[in-house]
Amino acid sequence: MSGIFGIFHTDGKPIDPVHLDQMASGLSFIRSNGVDVWRHGSVGFGRLKPYGFSTSLNNQSALQTSANGMIIVADARLTNRTALLNTFDLPNSSQSDFSDEALILQSYERWGQRCPRYLSGEFAFAIWDSAKRQLFCARDHMGIKPFFYSNLKNTFVFSSRVKGIRVLDFIPIELNEHNLAAALFLTKADKSQTYFMGIRRLRAAHTLEVHDKQDRPMAVTPFWSLQPKNHQIMLSDQEYADAFREIIVRSVCKRLDKAGTTGVMLSGGLDSSAIACIAAQQLRKRDLPLFSVSSVLPENHGGIESDERDYIKQVAKQELNIISHHAIAEGADPFQNLESKFDRFSEPVNAFHYMDEAIANTFSTLGVKRVLSGFHGDTFASYDGRDSLSCLIRQLRWGTALNCILDLKRVQNETIGALYRNNIFPWLLPKFTDFLEQLKLDGREAKLSSPAAKPFSDRFHENSYQNREFFQTSLMPCIAYGSPSMEYQTAEYASLDMNIRFPYWDKELVEFMINIPPEQFIVGGFKRSLFRRAMNGILPETVRQRNTKHPYTPDFHRRVISKKKEIRQYLNDIESDRSLMEMISFYIDTDTIRKKIGSIKPAKGRADWETGTQSIVVSGIILIRFLVWMGRL
């Protein structure tokens, strides 16, 4: 990825070059080959140049200009270049000289503010239209490329990263407590917000316009939305699987460049294994290898956890051009290098960031330039159909529903009563089911799984419970702002001069999935049935037919247990600082963390690590250190 940034003073105030330098320094953790900066009057743009980028393209810099007084700064990778080049009727001799930025600018000149509708791929850009005295910005359909902004009185700033904005000397530093509450109570947050008040994300598939006229406020407008239409009607279950396979293969192929080495995160699960097999088969046609990196447990691990080595080996055995590597992150723990990561990413990190870092460093050591990730595959591509029975009943398709119930009973070895309790009742009466669960918890869930202090809990927790959402209605909110986890990964890989790509975050794929008849997800009584059928002949059979996932948390509990002494000492240091403790105690109950430390033991099941060690001890310490770090800015 590349970093972009810019400032627009709507009151006509000239740009101070110091501010552009500050924004560039805020993005300096992204490896680049220098910075291109442009400023004219009240507008200024900047872009980090990726390694290998030519500073001359049609005698233009990385900041593309047009004859009509327009200039663009973009972080973009278009996948419909050929179609756009043909639309603009450019001579063949000049087509290779046109960068993606130049094509976006041509699109804006032809279609104006409708231009993002005609673009495919990943993009975040800003165009200064000097004739209209207007700044026009847009973010791609799936929110792959990040775009943050802050709209102050008379000044609008934007950047690829929060740090590119918060380093400006005129940006106030104030904690956004709503984001902190979402982290403490594991609830849905307004993803347009960040941990810094006043710094926001531009929604996926949205444009943003800023004018220098005071009577025209900033406008944020959608250019695409993911909406269910009439179900795609095909003649057979096999036709659905065949069509879906073509889409997945096409999505992976779109993310394989002709130059540079390719890597894949391979966990041994359905989603990552499918990407690995497809990519390996495509690269083999060019006699190219595919480097896989898998997080695994140490060979001498004696805990109850087990990793996916056997399934990973099955994938590598089938695809002979896969060169397998393991990441163990020996000696690492969830509490190391936190402040440096807060500084880069401007938000708390996840509990397993140490393993994310080990995987990225392994790819970097191998000289990989692009990495494929199966991130969110189970949300989009390999959805398990948990709401399919209730959808069929709501559609009054009784016969199909009954056949699916009988198939699930036979294959999953579940009683009809269990299927009703787990797959029908909660979805047909979601509000009533959630009400019953609230009564059962009796308001205790915050104390059970969160280190939140009572004052903060009383303010925010009452509205924290999450209602169930049907598959179709959950997809659009999921992609509405992209994913903070995805933003974290793209920034981490960019700091190592790599690009990470997400084949399951694909517009064509999600448009297909949202219009699939619900029974396709559970055909034959198999969960994730559509994906399994689509991957027939691509995945090894042992992987394609698996229906379990081993308990695995990168040797998490052993690492935390080894740091008990340091955790207690850190809490002592915090509590001995009266002014610091006064701030921390409003948000975090350190006594809750202390009590849980004493009961940490090797994981015996999923509940042990999700409701205790991770959500109370590790998340609690990470959030305390984030609050301390932010208080020092």
φ and ψ of 191, to 5 deg: -70, -5
Report residue 205 as tokens: 């598939």
Find how far residue 62's CA is from the centre of its chain. Answer: 27
Cα–Cα distance, 376 to 500 (Å, whole number): 14
Whether the CB-CB separation of 37 and 24 falls below 8 Å is answered with yes
φ and ψ of 72, to 5 deg: -125, 145
Percentages helix, strand, coil for the chain, rounded to the nearest 5? 45, 15, 40
Whether the CB-CB separation of 509 and 381 falls below 8 Å is answered with yes
Closest by alpha carbon to 534, among 381, 391, 379? Answer: 381
Closest by alpha carbon to 575, among 596, 593, 598? Answer: 593
Cα–Cα distance, 233 to 248 (Å, whole number): 19
Cα–Cα distance, 144 to 142 (Å, whole number): 6
Closest by alpha carbon to 262, among 322, 313, 318, 329? Answer: 322
Residue 556's pLDDT is 83
What HEC string does 554-575 produce? CCHHHHHHCCHHHHHHHHHHHH
Whether the CB-CB separation of 126 and 137 falls below 8 Å is answered with yes
Using a 10 angstrom Cβ sphere, with 0-12 exposed, 13-18 middle and 19 or more buried, the burial of residue 323 is: middle
Closest by alpha carbon to 521, among 403, 402, 384? Answer: 384
Residue 56's pLDDT is 34
The residues, ordered by sequence, that sit 6+ positions from 630 with a Cβ below 8 Å of its Cβ are: 173, 175, 195, 342
Using a 10 angstrom Cβ sphere, with 0-12 exposed, 13-18 middle and 19 or more buried, the burial of residue 122 is: buried
Cα–Cα distance, 468 to 154 (Å, whole number): 42
Stated as kind and residue range, the H or E segment containing 220 is: strand 219-222
Cα–Cα distance, 325 to 366 (Å, whole number): 9
89: left (phi over 0), alpha (psi -120 to 50) or beta: left
Report residue 287 as tokens: 């006699």
Average pLDDT by stretches of 10, the chain with 633 residues? 91 96 94 90 92 42 69 94 86 70 93 96 95 95 95 95 96 93 77 92 95 85 85 84 96 90 95 97 96 89 78 96 95 94 94 94 96 91 90 90 92 86 78 61 52 83 53 65 82 92 94 91 94 97 87 80 94 94 94 88 62 84 96 88
Report residue 9 as tokens: 């003073």
Cα–Cα distance, 428 to 557 (Å, whole number): 38
Widest distance between CA atoms in the chain? 72
Report residue 234 as tokens: 């095909």
Q: What is the pTM of this model?
A: 0.92
- Quick one: DSSP state of residue 212? S
Residue 213's pLDDT is 78
Distance linking the first and last C-alpha atoms of the chain? 27
Cα–Cα distance, 371 to 257 (Å, whole number): 11
Report residue 562 as tokens: 């080894």
Whether the CB-CB separation of 622 and 342 falls below 8 Å is answered with no
Q: Which pairing describes strands 35-40 and 43-48: parallel, antiparallel, or unpaired?
A: antiparallel
Report residue 576 as tokens: 């001995």
Q: Which long-range contacts (CB under 8 A, 24 or more apart) does 400-409 make?
A: 400/519, 404/519, 404/522, 404/523, 404/525, 406/525, 407/522, 407/523, 407/524, 407/525, 408/522, 408/525, 409/525
Residue 299's pLDDT is 79
79: left (phi over 0), alpha (psi -120 to 50) or beta: alpha
Burial 245-267 (b: 16+ CB within 10 A, else e): bebbbebbebbbeeeebbbbbbb
Closest by alpha carbon to 374, among 226, 509, 239, 472? Answer: 509
φ and ψ of 122, to 5 deg: -115, 130
Cα–Cα distance, 280 to 218 (Å, whole number): 46
Paired strand residues for 9: 155
Residue 471's pLDDT is 62
Residue 306's pLDDT is 78
Q: Which pairing describes strands 290-295 and 322-327: parallel, antiparallel, or unpaired?
A: parallel
| Residue in this structure with the two tokens 């997080």, named with its chain if needed | 295
